[in-house]
Structure 1
Amino acid sequence: MSYSFGRQLGEGIDGTVRLCTDLSSGLAFACKSICKSNSDAVGHIRTEINVLQKLKGHSNIISLHDYFEDDGYIHLIMEICEGGDLCEHLQQKGRLSEQEASLALTAIANAVMSCHQKGIMHRDLKPDNILLPYRNCSYMDLKLADFGTAANFSHSRLFDELEGTPLYLAPEVLDGSYDEKVDIWSMGVLLHIMLCGFPPFNGESVTNIFQSIRKDKLDLKQDPWPRISAEAKDLVRRMLNRNPYRRIKLRELFAHPWMQRFSVTGDESRATLQALNSVVVAG
């Protein structure tokens, strides 16, 4: 296939994202280009290609249209999301209502469920990696992206690599022995931020953040938590349980009263729970 390249859409440590057009169809895409001289970035991009091929077709996961490489770069041709990411959205809008947060969490959990069904854990769930396909879209349309640090857990081994973003890391990641349950913790941090506007555990340095994740008590008493429902606070506590074996599971998350109250009802609820009960690999 042949492409023409347009304006830059974004830039990161690993490379750039540009607007591109498929000349055979006239369709617009986002092209993520990674320099081959960066060995870590190349490893991440090859992981992302493999994972996205396995996850193809899910409405809440960014889709990979094509990929190719030249002498200097590896290029991923991906679905374009013109609404930016959830981090930018929250900075502009502020915290979400409970209904908005529940819809967003449903979309994210649907994506994570599909990953876990295929034995893949994301390991870097955060607002920056959740995209809005277009401005003013429904929160149910959010798309999970950036699978460069994802891993296959289908062989039931424990992992020890320190992968992810400090604020969203589960305590067992810091201890060097973890599995796919870390994604539930990261989603709990996401829900906390969506509901109140700040992370549950923080610090002035990475070391202080890690200390907070390990030891600080979850505080759901400061403003605005007194105005947030008991059901929402219960779900946050269950997702941010430091014991991964007591942490809420995906199927329990969808069945939680707060999720049932706001987003999953009637036939949709039964279909979702039936799908969750058929999950073999997920925790």
Structure 2
Amino acid sequence: MSCSFGRQLGHGVDGVVRLCTDISSGQQYACKSVSKNNPDAVRHIHTEISILQKLQGHPNIISFHGHFEDEECIHMLMEMCEGGNLSEYLQQKGPLPEVEAALAMATIIQAVLFCHERGIMHRDLKLDNILLPHKIYSYMELKLADFGTAADFSRCRIFEEAEGTPWYLAPELLAGSYDEKVDVWSLGVLLHILLCGYPPFDGESASEIFEAIRKGKLDLKGDPWPSISAEAKSLVKGMLQRNPFRRIKLRELSTHPWMQRFVVAGKETWANSQVLSTVVVGG
């Protein structure tokens, strides 16, 4: 494949993401490039390629369009998402109203459920890895991305290695023995941030964050929680249950009363007006 690289779209620990144009067709992609001199990056991109090949076909999972190599790098082609990510969006707009948070969560949950049904846990669910396909779009078009630290649990059910981003890590992962239930915890952290704008467990360093997670003291009394519904707080508590066996199950999230109430209302509103500001993001 003959490509022309354009502007940088993003970067991370493993490498950079740039605009890439197929010279023969003019088709544009987002291209993740990692150096062959970085063993961890090479391992992650091979994992991501393998897993994305298994997850093709879901509208809310980033589309994979192949990969190629040169002397220095491995390049992976994905669909372009021009609207940035949910972290950037929240920085601009602030916490979401409950109806918007529910619509966003419903979309993300369905994508994660699709992964789990195929024996894949993401292990790095966070706002940065939820992409906006366009500048203006509905929450039902969100895309789950970045599967470099994902794992296949169809054969091995218990994992020990630490993977993910500090604020989103489940307590059992920190303890060194966990399974796919860690994804529900991460979704709980994500919902908490969508509703109030900050993570439930924080600190000045990774070690302080980990200690806060281990203590598990969830505070839903400060602003803006008094104005947030009891149903929303119930769901957050269920997802951030420290005991993974008592934690709400992934399949139960969509039927929780809060999800049922706000997702139905949100979809009805969106159907009546596809440009209504309460269910369309961008700017």
Normalising by structure 2, report the TM-score: 0.91
In percent, how many aligned pairs have the same letter? Answer: 70
AA aligned opposite 2:194? M
SS where residue 254 of structure 2 aligns?
helix
Q: Is 1:50 aligned with 2:50?
A: yes
- Structure 2 Cα separation of the partners of residues 191 and 39 of structure 1: 34
Unaligned runs of 5+ in 1: 269-283
Please give the alpha-carbon distance, in whole angstroms, between the structure 1 residues aligned to 2:264 and 2:187: 18
User: Is 1:159 equivalent to 2:159 in the alignment?
Assistant: yes
SS at match of 1:255: coil
For 1:59-97, what per-residue CA distance to the aligned partner results, in whole angstroms no more than 9, with x for missing partners? 111111110111110001110100001110110010000
Indicate the residue corresponding to 1:232 in structure 2: 232
Matched, 1:259 2:238: no
Structure-2 residue corresponding to 1:11: 11
The equivalent of 2:136 in structure 1 is 136
Q: Does 1:2 align with 2:2?
A: yes
Corresponding residue number in structure 1 for 2:275: none
Q: Distance in 2 between matches of 1:184 and 1:12?
A: 24
- Structure 1: distance between partners of 2:156 and 2:19: 39
Deviates more, 1:20-29 or 1:235-244: 20-29
Work out the CA distance in 1 between the residues paired with 2:94 and 2:42: 35
| Cα deviations by residue, 1:178-197 (Å, 9 ceiling, x for unpaired) | 00000000000000000000
- 2: CA distance between counterparts of 1:127 and 1:236? 16
Q: What does the per-residue CA deviation read over 1:219-271, in whole Å, with 9 as the maximum and x for residues that have no partner?
A: 11111000000110000000000010111112211110111111158xx9xxx
Deviations 1:130-151 (A, max 9, x none): 1000112211111111100000
Single out whichever of 23-32 and 170-179 deviates more from structure 2: 23-32
Any unmatched runs of 5+ in structure 2? 269-283
Bigger CA drift: 246-255 or 174-183? Answer: 246-255
Counterpart Cα distance in 1 of 2:231 and 2:93: 23
| Greater displacement, 226-235 / 211-220 | 211-220
**What SS does the aligned partner of 2:65 have?**
strand
Partner of 1:19: helix, strand, or coil? strand
| Higher mean displacement: 135-144 or 16-25 | 16-25
Cα distance in structure 1, aligned partners of 2:16 and 2:252: 39
* Residue matched to 1:41: 41
2-structure distance, mates of 1:195, 1:13 = 28
State how 1:88-107 maps to structure 2 within 5 Å: 88-107=88-107
TM-score (norm 1): 0.91
Q: How far apart are 1:156 and its partner, in Å? A: 4.7
For 2:13 and 2:217, the matched residues in 1 are separated by 34
Match of 2:71 in 1: 71
Partner of 1:276: none
Q: Where does 1:110-259 land on structure 2 (aligned, <5 Å)? A: 110-259=110-259
* Residues in 1 aligned to 2:242 and 2:136: alpha-carbon distance in whole angstroms: 35
Runs of 4+ in 1 over 2 A off after TM superposition: none
Which range moves more in the overlay, 149-158 or 241-250? 149-158
Question: CA RMSD for the aligned pairs?
Answer: 1.5
Deviates more, 1:21-30 or 1:93-102: 21-30
Letter in 1 for 2:183: D
CA distance in 1, matches of 2:63, 2:15: 19
- For the 8 Å contact 2:216–2:242, the answer to whether it is kept is no
Q: Counterpart of 1:208 in structure 2: which amino acid?
A: E
Q: Distance in 2 between matches of 1:176 and 1:241?
A: 17
